[in-house]
Chains A and B, each alone.
Chain A
Amino acid sequence: MTILADAGRRRSSSASPFLGHDGFVRIRHFYNGNRWLGAVATGLVVPAVILALWSLAVRLELLAPQILPAPSLVWTTLSDLLVSGDLPYELGVSMLRLAVGIAIGAGLGLATGIAFGLSRRADAYFGASVRAIFLVPSLGWLPFFMLMFGIDETLKVVLIAKTCFLPLMVGPYHAIRTMPPKYDDIARCLELKRSDYLRKILLPALLPSIATGMRQAVSKGWKVLILVEMISSAAGIGYLMMWGRKSFQLDVVFATIIVIGLVGLLFDRGILWFERRTAQWSLHAAV
């Protein structure tokens, strides 16, 4: 009780009497303007601690330098790779594969999800099989895909497409099945044509689930791409990492780890931002 009372008192006293309304507003403006910077700074705390521990481990020679290179060396390698154009090139190759794979996989997944959502018959015939096929992990299909498609670009694109299919199929499918019947009432009362119904009601209603599915698809696709590039590839960021391991250049391995992590994070944040923008109404709509 006393703690609660105390907390209440503290809150009320810190709100305005000392700062005054203007002061409060000014602080909030400052905070709002720098919220992004603040978030970045907060997010950098843990990497900074890791970096410190890493440096300490290297200084104390806890591990052989061939296994754990110094942060400074990794940094030098990273900038060398950037300047020489090697890293941008490999990253570009990976990005292109990812883009094509996602475009195909996500597109097919979305179309299938919508089809299964709208047609109970299609779902009854194909739903279980399609789900079972896609629930086998991507790497489980890899041996077969290698024999089927060879080890060239097709393999990577097929594998990414396969990975991105399910997230884009499942979300929109459930969104259609749980869509309130009132939207159908409205579509009928407004005498909307089938095409208008798809464009003006169904697709916007699915956007939040599409954005969520995209976020999953991109992060899963990115991971599986790195894996397949490590297993069979002559280019790409995963290949660069594997090359570093084979030539015992752990500084290259660490540099690529950092790049892969940062790119993955960037994707995730970017789509999250898009998700929040497109689905703004659904966060507010209680209906």
Chain B
Amino acid sequence: MSGPAVIAPVVAPGETAQSLTERICAVTLREGARPWTPLWWWAAFAVSLGLLGIGVIAVGWLFYAGLGIWGIDWPVVWGLDILNYVWWIAIASGGTFISALFFLLGVEWRTALNRLAESLTLCAALCAAIFPILHLGRPWFFYWLFPYPNTMGLWAQFRSPLVWDFFAILTYVLASILFWYFGLLPDLATLRDRAQGQGRRVFYGVLALGFRGSGRQWRHYRSVYAVMAALMAPLVVSVHSIVGMDFAGSAATGWHSTQFPPFFVFGAALSGFAVVLLAILPLRSLLGLHAYVTERHIDVLGRLFLTSSLCVGYAYVMDAFSTFYGPDEADRTMFLMRVFGLYAPVYWGTILLNIVFPQLLWWRSVRLTQPLVWLIGLGVLVGMWLERFQIIVTSLARTQLPSAWGHYTPTIWEWSLLFGTIGLFLTTFLLIVRLMPVVAMAEMRAMLRGPA
């Protein structure tokens, strides 16, 4: 269904290492003709800070009043806290898939996207990491999750997927930060040498740690970067598999399924690619990146987006199939309630937003119509949130025992926490976009030079 294959170049013709360095440094340093930070940035930052403020109030009140302010109760003991955690950690995956997996595959379109994608990963992983701690009830004891010698003589329960998840998130957040920062070192050095003001030189100079591009530094840099990428790719798959096992390890209806680990990896890829598109499409114009983020990138991301949507569709079909093929009456009751009951709009919203609308991306003309792609991406983020709602809430609301059935209504404190983390995500991302080089310059230079 794609039109005749007119493949746009990965970099606009006429771009050189010189023009790239100038253009990207100008976005960050703003020392040329337009030294001020653009209005759109301040406007977005103000909105983000407002949302973040709401989140701070929500957390403050939670710490003061306790978990009772949330709508979770028996039998729906996991609500928006875990839902938002799973949603954010899935959003974080996109950067790692693009940056690590496609580095290993050696695709050239990855180079212009990896810095922004990795930054999105970092911000989303930060938001995700907050929720498991907040939902502990006594968050000041979160360090009990660490295996450390303690006077109580206690250890974490290493046979529990929830403890696996703690290690997975810990590793994922730390490794993502290190991978991102390691990739930044050469570009920070470029900014250090390019900056005019003393304060900026010191800022970027300290962050660059004295990277000077010597032969010795590059020789080790290349090896470490490649191995890190090779580790990050299976790491992201393991993290989402373990998130799936958080559910599959329980005997709750609808959760106890061996397909959950890959199901969650597919969902992660879908929301990851969606958020990369959501960020890239406006930033491409706002930061003037047309020369480096071309139609080719948008086309490729659209194809990946469609592919992951098909994978998620397969998982939904298998979920329904194994429920009705399997022996468990309670599973079937729960599933019918999911499809036709109180929460049916959530289920059908999921199907519509995650599976039906993304099918438009079969057409190349749709993939290149940016406002439409942006809307489909936004729809998928909402759809993935709804998917987690139906997985978590409907399963817990219809347990095996009909006498224990119940329902769940989130309170304003849960909603405000969700919007607070959206504020945290946007605030940190906007700061990164403003202060860090948005395109990996050193890698782009090597690509512009041609095949090594």
Partners in one complex: no
Q: Which B residues lie at the A interface, using CB under 8 A?
A: none
